[in-house]
Structure formats: C-alpha cells, structure tokens
Amino acid sequence: MKSASPIAGQHFYVSGAGSGIGRVITLELAARGAKVSAIDINTQAINELASNDSTSKDSIYPITADFTNDDSIIQSVHQAEKHFGPLHGLVNCVGILGKNGMKIEDLEIDDFDFVYRVNLRSAVVLTKAVIAGMAARKYGRILHLASISGKEGNPFLVAYSATKAGIIAMVKSVGKEYPDSGVTINAMAPALIESPMSASFSEAQMTLLKSRIPMGRLGKPEEVANLAAWIVSPECSFTTGFTFDLSGGRATY
Ligand SMILES: NC(=O)c1ccc[n+]([C@@H]2O[C@H](COP(=O)([O-])OP(=O)(O)OC[C@H]3O[C@@H](n4cnc5c(N)ncnc54)[C@H](O)[C@@H]3O)[C@@H](O)[C@H]2O)c1
C-alpha cells in the first residue's frame, strides 16, 4: 500500500496564489504536506490564505510581488528561498485576460504590451530566476499555466492567446535545454475553469467557449490542482517540455 505524499516537506513557489486556480493549488500542495510560498500582487488575499489555512499550520508563506516588475519577481524567489529553503518546484498561475472582446483592429498595442508583461515576460523572468539553482541541485519541477487559447487561439482574445502560445513554446524550448538536469518544465492548457477570471467573460463569450467543450461543463479548480500536484511531484519524472491537456475533451492533442 502506498500512502505517503511524495511532496511532503518539499518547498513550492506558487504565483497567482491570491485567487482562483493558484489559490486552490496552494491549498492542495499544503494539504499534501508541502511548504508553499504563496505569491501575488494582492497582499490581502495571500495574507488571508496563509492565516486561514487550517490544513497545515505555518505551511503557507505569503509574499507580495508585482509580475510586471522583473526585480519584484526575482526578489520574491529570494524571499521564498530565505524562508523555506531551496525550491523543489514552481507553479506559475499569474495571468490576466487584459482588455478583450474586440477584433485585432481595435486592440490597443499598449494593452497588448501589458498582457505580454504579466503573462509571458514574467514567466521567462521567473524561469530564469529558479532554473539554474534547481539544475545545480539536480532536481526541480516547473509548471506554467498556459491555456487552450494558446493552442487553438480564441477570437477576441488575441493578446491572451498569443502570450499563452508563447508559454507553450517557451516550455518546449527550455525542456530541450535541460533534458538530463533532473529539472522538468511543463505547461498545462486548461479550457474554461470555474474562477473569477472566467466569471469576467460576457455571456456571449461564455456560451461560445463552453459550447466548444465536449464534456459540456467548466472545469473545476480542484481538477487543475490535482493534475498540477502530480506534475510537480517526483512521480512525474519522464515528461518535460510538454503541455498537459485539461479541456474536457476539446483538445485531443
Ligand atoms: N480560469 C480559466 O478559465 C483559465 C483557463 C485556462 C488557463 N487559465 C490560466 O490559469 C491561471 C490562473 O487563472 P485564474 O482563473 O485562477 O485567474 P484569477 O484571475 O482568479 O487569478 C489570477 C491571480 O493573478 C494575480 N495577478 C494578476 N496580475 C498580477 C501581477 N501583475 N503580479 C502578481 N500577481 C498578479 C491576481 O491578483 C490573481 O490572484 C492564469 O494564468 C490563467 O491564464 C485560466
């Protein structure tokens, strides 16, 4: 019989921990016995998350960071490692839709740049900040939240879709740079998941996106968290550069 959690005692950095998917992943990792540095721009949300954690006291350490600022990202990694020690894993859940609902001809390039900074540039900065240390220690698990939008492109979501496609390509490239290092880097591409982000869609967008999911429902953050917890565990050891599907049958590739 197998009962011990393979990530018990390990240290994870979870960004976007203040809401939705990142919040549930933080709680799931802590429930499995991990120490979690919980990063977000929303200080109040992560402080509440840490103080209300009943599953495992002192397991969640809140750190405020702004992912539009490179130094802030790098400092958050230092702060996390100073508190709980070297990182075993990272789950990057920071992401924004940005202004959306219009065709590209009406897209403001400054708005595109902002989505790029939050969604893609930060993912590169964060990966750079952790991967050399992980490779030197010969172990690490990096997981970035991409999206089905990055695989298929969704209309009226150009900035979001393009930056999520960038994450998928970044993970493929980096996976091939560190194949024998003990570090894996993967992405996950969910379709619509129940969260504050998906709740912000217009009714028309929601109907369109939901109609494309063969299972006919939104995914649950807990479903994302369970898959994420396995991907960042030692058990997921022969997969790197890959984008895991979580789309209720929408993407079968
Ligand atoms: N919800 C979905 O349907 C869905 C589907 C596919 C992929 N995703 C991806 O999953 C991830 C999490 O999504 P979610 O639904 O939980 O979103 P969410 O909006 O509920 O949470 C995003 C978190 O990121 C934080 N954040 C935003 N800008 C930041 C910044 N500049 N610096 C630091 N933190 C910042 C927010 O404060 C928030 O806590 C995102 O990358 C998203 O693109 C979500």
- CATH number reported for the structural domain that contains residue 134 in this entry: 3.40.50.720
237: in domain: yes
- Best residue among 67, 71, 94 to mutate for probing ligand 1's pocket (most ligand atoms within 8 Å of CB) is 94
- Best residue among 14, 41, 194 to mutate for probing ligand 1's pocket (most ligand atoms within 8 Å of CB) is 41
83: in domain: yes
24: in domain: yes
4: in domain: no
**How many whole angstroms from its chain centre is CA 123?**
9
Residue 153 identity: G
Q: Smallest Cα–Cα separation from 83: which of 58, 66, 55? A: 58
* Pocket lining: 89 vs ligand 1, CB cutoff 6 Å: no
* Pocket lining: 70 vs ligand 1, CB cutoff 6 Å: no
Instruction: List the domain range (segments joined by +) for residue 42.
Output: 11-245
250: in domain: no
- Measured in Å, residue 145 CA sits from the centre of ligand 1 at 9
Full pLDDT tens readout for the chain, 253 residues? 777 999 999 999 999 999 999 999 999 999 999 999 999 999 999 999 999 876 656 899 999 999 999 999 999 999 999 999 999 999 999 999 999 999 999 999 999 999 999 999 999 999 999 999 999 999 999 999 999 999 999 999 999 999 999 999 999 999 999 999 999 999 999 999 999 999 998 888 899 889 999 999 999 999 999 999 999 999 999 999 999 999 999 999 9
> What are the structure tokens assigned to 204, written together?
């028309």
5: in domain: no
With a CB cutoff of 8 Å and minimum separation 6, the contacts of 155 are none
Q: Which residue has the tokens 């103080």?
A: 51
CA dihedral 74, 79, 80, 85 (to 10 degrees): 110
What pLDDT score was predicted for residue 55? 60
What pLDDT score was predicted for residue 105? 98
Helix or strand (DSSP H, E) at 47: helix 43-52
With a CB cutoff of 8 Å and minimum separation 6, the contacts of 177 are none
Query: What are the catalytic residues?
Result: 160
Number of domains in the chain: 1
Q: What is the pTM of this model?
A: 0.98
1: in domain: no
Starting at the edge strand found earlier in the chain, the sheet holding 11-15 runs 60-64, 35-40, 11-15, 89-92, 140-145, 183-190, 243-246
* Pocket lining: 66 vs ligand 1, CB cutoff 6 Å: yes
- Measured in Å, residue 131 CA sits from the centre of ligand 1 at 22
| DSSP 8-class letter at 57 | T
181: in domain: yes
- Measured in Å, residue 180 CA sits from the centre of ligand 1 at 31
